[in-house]
Structures are given as C-alpha cells and as structure tokens.
Amino acid sequence: EMDRLFNSVFGDFGESDRRWGHSGWGPPLDVEETDKEFFVRAEIPGVHADDLELSMCGDSLVISGEKKESEEKKEKGYWYQERRFGSFRREVPLPSAVDADNVEAEYKDGVLHVKLHKAQEALPKRIPVKGK
C-alpha cells in the first residue's frame, strides 16, 4: 500500500522509457537546441569522470557508465532505498546530424555537460530568390 501511494505521488523512477533508450536506471537529462548546437546536461552525482563513456551512434549520443556503490557495509533495516548503483546507458536521439569530431564534454559537480555542434549540412541555409 505504501509503495502504491508513493508511486502515485512521485511516479515509478524505475520505469523504462524506450523512446530515450532508458531501461533500468539512468541519469535524468535535459536536451537544448540552438541554431548551431545541441546541449545535453545529465545529472550523474557520485560518478567519477573516468567511469563515464560518451559515443555517437548515428544521430544519437550514447552516455554510459557505472555508479559504484560505496565500500560501506550494506546494513539491513532500510525502510526505503531509492539510490541506484551499477551500469547505466542512455541513448539520446538528436533531430539532426552533428559533427562527431567536434563534441565537447565536461563533468562538474555531478553534472555532465555535452556540447554537440550541428553538422554543416544540418545548419539552416538562406536561399536567394531572383526576381524578373
């Protein structure tokens, strides 16, 4: 009954979201688009930068890594445990092509910041109209 009540208020954080390549647990993220770039921000507290991996798969950014459980002894008696540990993978489909050789990533204060420059062919082009 308590689980049902909790999930009705906060949702089920373990639900899969196939559209974003999210199964099991994965970091929540934001995707922002400008005329020339995409910005992806993923909250991944407790992970070391060395445990993160980024790659491009077609027009999708793939973020994967592992959140390692602390060395603390697991104690029985948890009333509720929401923190997730282990491997994760998020695939973020982008609506247009990006320059895979010009991607910048920085991990700071538990947030991964990724800047993806749009490919030249994806940038808007002005077409002149000739008059007679």
Position 92 in a domain: yes
Position 43 in a domain: yes
Q: Which letter, b or e, does each residue of 16-55 get, where b requires 16 or more Cβ atoms within 10 Å of its Cβ? A: eeeeebbeebbbebebeeeeeebebebebeebeeeebebe
Query: Looking at the predicted structure, is the pLDDT value of residue 114 above 50?
Result: yes
From CA 27, how far away is CA 29, in angstroms rounded?
6
Position 91 in a domain: yes
- The tens digit of pLDDT for each residue in 25-54 reads 789 999 999 999 999 999 999 899 999 999
How many domains would you assign to the chain? 1
CATH of the domain at 28: 2.60.40.790
pTM of the entire predicted model: 0.70
From CA 27, how far away is CA 98, in angstroms rounded?
22
Position 1 in a domain: no
Domain that holds residue 58: 22-69+83-120
From CA 105, how far away is CA 36, in angstroms rounded?
17
Query: Looking at the predicted structure, is the pLDDT value of residue 18 above 50?
Result: no
Position 102 in a domain: yes
Position 76 in a domain: no
Position 2 in a domain: no
From CA 84, how far away is CA 23, in angstroms rounded?
12
State which amino acid sits at residue 86: G
Mean pLDDT, all residues of the chain = 81
Position 62 in a domain: yes
* Range 50-74 average pLDDT: 86
- Alpha helices by DSSP H, listed for the chain, are 2-10
